[in-house]
Amino acid sequence: MAVLRRALRSLSTFATVSNRCIVYAQNGDPTKVVKSLTFPTLPPPSPDTVNLRFLLSPINPADVNTIEGVYPEKPSLISNLSLNGLGSSEEPVYVGGTEGLAQVTQVGNGVQGLKEGDWVVMDKPQSGTWSTSRNVLSKDVLRLPASGLTEAHGATMTINPPTAYNMLNDFVDLKAGDWIIQNGANSAVGQLVIQLAKERGINTINFVRSRDDMTPLVKHLENLGATKVLTYEELSDKSLRGRVKEWTGGKDICLALNCTHTWFLTAQCPNNHFHSQHHSTYSKT
């Protein structure tokens, strides 16, 4: 991750004099396969395309897994960055990055609903956002509202927020007053689950790893809307079952969200503290 951060920081250093992107030609250890590639200024966009300038592009764990070749979603090779050599048809490359906030700099003929200056995000995974600029089809971007979002909001809204939203909507018809449980509650997705659940009046029991001073983390999650915050060690407490029953008024847990290990839902619950109607396992970020 440190190598990728240094590489991405190099983009802003040279953004005013040239275009750069972070590329790789084959899967492997990111510290060995990623390179910084300089490419020419983009020509005017062709019909139905737009030119973009990326304002902010984060590193998601999925990006690292994609470079390693172990992520299910595969990117497409790009061969129009250079006339010859790396990034050309002779040596096509993958451009890293899935998430990123970009600004429209030029609009091609036939493009509707987009104008110069609009903020957009990519509508396709593995679109190559680790770049100072890109030319893309207009149908492959989503325009963001003109106000109410920071650059950080825009750059990180296409993976974690939809994951949290879909898990709360696709598996169970949750109602206000229902209870859900999750581990990894202080992950990005976990914190979004807490906030979205709070907005809907859904109660959350949240598990996190213990640390020397739990107070700041507990207060932070409670301020987001967490109903209860516990550590994994508390799962072995025989009194927990009674406490949970008291909290829920005897109601079942409607949904369990697991982003660490299945033992959270099985072996670590020998006393069957939680009877959940539905389980969902996902990869946290």
Active site residue 165: no
Residue 133: which region, alpha, beta or left (left: phi > 0; alpha: psi -120 to 50)? beta
Of 99, 160, 153, 98, nearest to 284 by C-alpha is: 160
Q: What is the DSSP letter of 116?
A: T
Residue the block writes with tokens 């979004």: 192
Count of CB atoms situated within 10 Å of the CB of 79: 13
Q: Which of 71, 94, 232, 282 is catalytic?
A: 71
Question: Which burial class, exposed, middle or buried, applies to 197 when counting CB atoms under 10 A from its CB (0-12, 13-18, 19+)?
Answer: buried
Helices (H), the chain: 2-14, 30-33, 61-68, 151-155, 160-169, 188-199, 215-224, 240-248
Active site residues: 71
